[in-house]
């Protein structure tokens, strides 16, 4: 697993040993960052369900000013910290061992881009965009990206508008943009 673009391009990342952690493939990661390229520079990026931290590190490599990483798995947090440290970007990163839903309830932070890749078996996946909308942590014209199983249907949202869906085998990437009220 490597960083595929930006100033850290080619930097090797440590892979998760936990088979339950499913890193976003290089192909899908590349497609996501091609889609959001105009929006990544100077962005505040949230990597929810961080796993190895590859998405947030890729964001920093491509010009995000800051990345926040969330995960509740202690092994994922340790791996993310190791990858951030190995890339020498600690000053641009915040790694938190915290449940995503608890973070939504407690934070006052606002993000330009939020990427979430929850476990595919998580029952609440269809509600995640609505939860993000209710927490009001996405800036106006910010982008929410959800990596999910292709069979997931999302609940209705008011201020988040579906802008793109792309399917890669059994994985789908869904992009939402926050609009005005």
* Residue 45 domain-assigned (yes or no): yes
* Residue 114 domain-assigned (yes or no): yes
* Residue 53 domain-assigned (yes or no): yes
Q: CA dist 61 to 43, 46, 98, 132, Å?
A: 12, 14, 24, 25
* Residue 16 domain-assigned (yes or no): no
Looking at residue 112, what is its pLDDT?
A: 98
Q: Is residue 39 left, alpha or beta, with left meaning phi > 0 and alpha meaning psi from -120 to 50?
A: alpha
Tell me how many domains the chain contains: 1
Looking at residue 102, what is its pLDDT?
A: 95
CATH number at residue 59: 3.40.50.150
* Residue 43 domain-assigned (yes or no): yes
Looking at residue 53, what is its pLDDT?
A: 96
Q: Print pLDDT tens along the chain (181 aa).
A: 899 999 999 999 998 887 667 778 888 999 999 999 999 999 999 999 999 999 999 999 999 999 999 999 999 999 999 999 999 999 999 999 999 999 999 999 999 999 999 887 777 788 899 999 999 999 999 999 999 988 888 888 889 999 999 998 888 999 999 987 6
pTM of the model: 0.95
* Residue 140 domain-assigned (yes or no): yes
Facing residues of 174 across strands?
A: 146, 165
* Residue 157 domain-assigned (yes or no): yes
Range(s) of the domain holding residue 75: 26-178
Looking at residue 6, what is its pLDDT?
A: 96
């Amino acid at each position: 697993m490597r960083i595929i673009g930006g100033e850290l391009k080619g930097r090797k990342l440590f892979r998760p040993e936990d088979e339950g952690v499913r890193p976003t493939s290089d192909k899908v990661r590349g497609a996501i960052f091609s889609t959001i390229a105009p929006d990544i520079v100077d962005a505040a990026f949230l990597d929810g369900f961080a796993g190895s931290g590859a998405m947030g590190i890729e964001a920093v490599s491509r010009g995000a000013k800051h990345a926040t990483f969330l995960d509740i798995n202690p092994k994922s947090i340790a791996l993310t910290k190791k990858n951030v440290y190995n890339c020498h970007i600690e000053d641009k990163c915040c790694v938190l061992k915290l449940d995503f839903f608890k973070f939504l309830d407690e934070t006052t932070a606002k993000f330009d881009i939020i990427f979430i890749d929850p476990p595919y078996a998580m029952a609440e996946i269809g509600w995640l965009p609505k939860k993000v909308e209710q927490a009001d942590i996405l800036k106006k014209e910010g982008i929410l990206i959800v990596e999910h199983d292709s069979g997931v249907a999302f609940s209705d949202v008011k201020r988040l508008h579906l802008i793109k869906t792309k399917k890669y085998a059994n994985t789908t990437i869904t992009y939402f943009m926050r609009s005005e009220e």
